[in-house]
Amino acid sequence: MNCDQDVRPPLAVDGERDAAVRGGPLRVATVVFLLFSVMLGGALPTPLYGIYSARLGLTPVIITVVFALYAVGVVAALLLGGVSDRIGRRAVIGPAMLVAAVSCAVFAVFPTLPGLLAGRLLSGVAVGLTTGAATAYLRELHPRPATAALLATVTSMLGLAGGPLLGGVLAEFAPRPLLTPYVVVAALLLSGLALFALPETVIRTPGRFRLQRLAVPASARRVFGAVAVSVFAGFSVLGLLAGLTGTFLGEGLHRHSPLLTGLVACCAFGAAGLAQLVSARAEAVRATVVGMLVIPVGLVLIVAALPARSLALFLVGAALGGGGAGVAFRSGLAALAARVPAARTGEVASSYFVAAYLGLTVPVIGVAALLSRFSLVTSAGVFAGVVTLLALAGARSARKLTGGAA
């Protein structure tokens, strides 16, 4: 999940300087690793929620609120808009990685509910700041900007996939499961020191800073409505799997394992990244339709896996749901980019990301509330039904944009 609202052309682009900052695969690889490390840390707590819940007596509603604060932090960072356009890529990525390291320290030192809330908020801010600036940085360092944008998106998803897997492995096999994962990620974040070896691509510009405006021009409202509904539906599946997989596995499949929780989340986000790669050359609106048709299939398998107590069904459902969400996310952003004037890209992309992160948080909190009154299968079924309706509505709206051709 990256923030393409901050991907304008570099501000320091005279011929000699542009040639100086481009080229060099090591520079590109360095920024990719920095982005990957921050995204890894952002998703690390997913398999640890079950341990926190058992030790602190947290309900599913509280767990989802903790998870939602991550999205609040990301959206708050998104509203900073093009800050790296003004003060520089390194000037944003460096402090963002420091915030990510501080979040690890908060998690490690304060394994309490206030510590969880603060740590999650900080990690969201770090992710939001890093993705926007790193995506713009890659476009300036890589000789092919379109390839760089895809590289940033896939790297983000792979980081979100690797975080739960790393957290699950360390929680399962390493000592002190609520300390060791954060120490490992904090060590990875030391890679931020490599920023000192990279060139700055932006010349600082004076002037008053303003928060990113959220707006959609009239000419793009039809396509925005279609892709916003689609990305909301897709991210709701990712939110469910990131926030409540431990609850689903524990109560539904009777499997209490941080490793399995991490594996499920890894399957979902890994499939999202792979689907973005596979669909990179597909026409954006048609790809959105395909993504929205895949998501209900994944949801059916997830719900069916609960009474069947089938981990295999659950994993396949998670992979299909994640894949559909990944396709919808990439193609929705591409559809907007093709239909929005360049001067309005930032505000439209920011609005799109707000829709995505609302989908990531609001539905999963609703599921947690349902769990306090209804059975797991009933709650999951209601969620699947609502999201399926949203996905079909998004597919129908997208099909209308292509004249009815799927």
Output the pLDDT for position 365.
Answer: 93
Task: Output helix, strand, coil percentages for the chain, rounded to the nearest 5.
Answer: 80, 0, 20
Q: Rounded distance, CA 369 to CA 53, Å?
A: 16
pLDDT given for residue 401 in this prediction: 77
Q: Can you list the alpha helix ranges (DSSP code H) found in 215-308?
A: 221-247, 258-278, 284-308
**Contact (CB, 8 A) for 204 and 87:** yes
Give per-10-residue mean pLDDT for the chain (406 aa). 45 46 77 95 94 93 92 86 78 94 97 96 94 85 81 89 96 95 96 88 72 76 90 95 92 93 95 90 88 96 95 96 93 82 73 89 93 94 96 90 56
How far apart CA 213 and CA 350 sit, in angstroms, is: 8
Assign domain 212-405 to a CATH class. Answer: mainly alpha
Six-digit token string for 393: 């509505």
315, 282 Cβ separation under 8 angstroms? no
What is the distance between the terminal CA atoms of the chain, rounded to a whole angstrom?
Answer: 26
Sign of dihedral through CA atoms 365, 367, 368, 370? positive
Euclidean distance between CA atoms 148 and 2, whole angstroms: 12
Give the CATH H-level superfamily of domain 22-199.
MFS general substrate transporter like domains (1.20.1250.20)
**Could you tell me which of 268, 375, 365 has the C-alpha nearest to residue 326?**
268
**Structure pTM?**
0.88
What local confidence, expressed as pLDDT, does residue 209 receive?
66
Q: CATH 1.20.1250.20: which residues of the chain?
A: 22-199, 212-405
pLDDT of residue 208: 66
DSSP state of 395: H
**Is the separation of the CB atoms in 384 and 302 below 8 Å?**
yes
- In degrees rounded to 5, what are phi and psi of residue 289? -60, -45
What is residue 11's predicted lDDT score, i.e. its pLDDT? 45
For position 16, what pLDDT does the model report? 42
